[in-house]
Amino acid sequence: MVKLNKIDDAISASNKSGASRLVLMFGPDFGMISRKMNHFAAALKKENPDLELRRFSENDLANDFEGFENSVLHNSLFGGANIGRLRLGSESQSAKLIDFVSRYDDVGGNIGGAVLIEAGDISPTNKLVQAFEKSPFAWAIRLYDSSKQDLIALMKAKAADEGVRIDQEAIDRLLEFVPNDVDSLLAEVENLALFVGLNGKIDSQAIVALSSGGRDADLSEITNAAFLGETRILAIKLNQALENGQSPIAIYNAIMRRLRLLLSIHVEAERGSNIDNIVKDKKLGVFWKEQSSVARQAKIWQRNFIEDVLSKTIEADSLSKRRDAPADAILERLLNRICARAARVA
């Protein structure tokens, strides 16, 4: 493993001809990992303009690992090699990737393209991490929890990108009530930008308008019904919310917060903790009356299904924001699919 003091050193190094073509980045904040890997991939692409960027999933590796491998090597049927981006949500493909690292070492770290892996919050003792660390050519880069200062800077930058400002009170409220990962916070800022007043500033009034980032926006009855497979309760609670003027955006945010909570629970469970005890951990912020329900949901929903639904939720949220889109219908269809899947397992 090439030891680097800071992630920024790795990004800087990717601008140089000696940069590794096989990189594993892992840590607790998938959003931050993705942002850092974007910089890394862009720098590598700049240094190697002949390479194309391609994204792969665990399913791609499971169904056709040889095709994945060929696409990042010179022997692709379609010509040149690629920079392959891969996000891992489980260890199902680790054995194949460990073998790939071994063969990568055998050729002196010289493959036509590159493989950039985002592995999330895995243990430093994980076999895949160890394979990268033992390799004289591959890089294993560990990220840690984002600091409060990092998150504030990103929130302010996101607000500026949306053409608005965000005041300190709104920042403090979001940091208190929203899971402190980059994806969650930036999604909140993006949605809040739609509710700014004439002053062009995200403030507490904008938060109230969106019903975002506050305990007064308790949409747990909807999320609980959906993730427990309770079809009748979901229909009643969703109709009540929409008829009372609840914003679909707020409901999407509630769904995504629940999904990320369930992911966090599974990360802890994979480390050997008991789900019923995990939900009682104060750092997760699960209200005591909700702990039993959330634990049931975590047992129903396996990690790969959670990640699949998170992707579909982000897609549905984006579709709902298009002009003249049937936002309520898109939201209802998503929740019904979540509920149906839960009902099959529960």
Instruction: Give the model confidence (pLDDT) of 110-139 as tens digits.
Output: 777 888 998 877 777 889 889 988 888 888
Confidence grade of residue 79 (pLDDT, cut at 50, 70, 90): low
- Segment of 71-80, 164-173, 185-194 carrying the highest mean pLDDT: 164-173
Residue 195 has pLDDT above 80, yes or no: no
pLDDT: which is higher, 284 or 222: 222
pLDDT: which is higher, 4 or 113: 113
- The amino acid at residue 316 is A
Is 128 found in the same domain as 43?
A: yes
Is 161 found in the same domain as 102?
A: no
Beta bridge partners of 29: none
Is 162 found in the same domain as 112?
A: no
Confidence grade of residue 1 (pLDDT, cut at 50, 70, 90): very low
Is 111 found in the same domain as 188?
A: no
* Residue 171 lies in domain: 148-345
Residue 130 inside a domain? The answer is yes
The residue among 76, 108, 142 that closes a domain is 142
What value does the mean pLDDT of the chain take? Answer: 81
Q: The domain that contains 269 carries what CATH number?
A: 1.20.272.10
Is 138 found in the same domain as 157?
A: no
Please, which residues have CB within 8 angstroms of residue 153's CB and are 6 or more apart in sequence? none
Tokens 């985002």 belong to residue: 118
Residue 50 inside a domain? The answer is yes
- Report pLDDT for 330: 93
Is 125 found in the same domain as 203?
A: no
Residue 249 inside a domain? The answer is yes
HEC-encoded secondary structure of the chain: CCCCCCHHHHHHHCCCCCCCCEEEEECCCHHHHHHHHHHHHHHHHHHCCCCEEEEECHHHHHHCHHHHHHHCCCCECCECCEEEEEECCCCCCHHHHHHHHHHHHHCCCCCCCEEEEECCCCCCCCHHHHHHHHCCCCEEEECCCCCHHHHHHHHHHHHHHCCCEECHHHHHHHHHHCCCCHHHHHHHHHHHHHHCCCCCEECHHHHHHHCCCCCCCCCHHHHHHHHHCCHHHHHHHHHHHHHCCCCHHHHHHHHHHHHHHHHHHHHHHHCCCCHHHHCCCHHHCCCHHHHHHHHHHHHHCCHHHHHHHHHHHHHHHHHHCCCCCCHHHHHHHHHHHHHHHHHHHC
Residue 2 inside a domain? The answer is no
> Would you say the pTM of this structure is higher than 0.75?
no
Domain tally for the chain? 2
- Report pLDDT for 216: 38
Q: Are 296 and 228 in contact (CB under 8 A)?
A: yes
Residue 156 has pLDDT above 70, yes or no: yes
- Report pLDDT for 11: 52
From 122, 180, 45, select the one nearest 303 (Cα to Cα).
122
The residue among 94, 118, 142 that closes a domain is 142
Please, which residues have CB within 8 angstroms of residue 241's CB and are 6 or more apart in sequence? 219, 222, 251
Q: The domain that contains 87 carries what CATH number?
A: 3.40.50.300
Is 322 found in the same domain as 204?
A: yes
Is 160 found in the same domain as 133?
A: no
Is 160 found in the same domain as 132?
A: no
Q: What is the pLDDT of residues 255-309, one digit of tens each?
A: 988 998 898 899 888 888 899 999 988 777 787 888 999 999 999 999 889 988 9
Residue 228 CA to residue 189 CA, distance in Å, equals: 29
The residue among 97, 126, 142 that closes a domain is 142
Is 171 found in the same domain as 88?
A: no
Is 166 found in the same domain as 258?
A: yes
Residue 1 inside a domain? The answer is no
Residue 206 CA to residue 225 CA, distance in Å, equals: 28
Is 164 found in the same domain as 98?
A: no
Cβ neighbours around 172 below 10 Å, total: 13
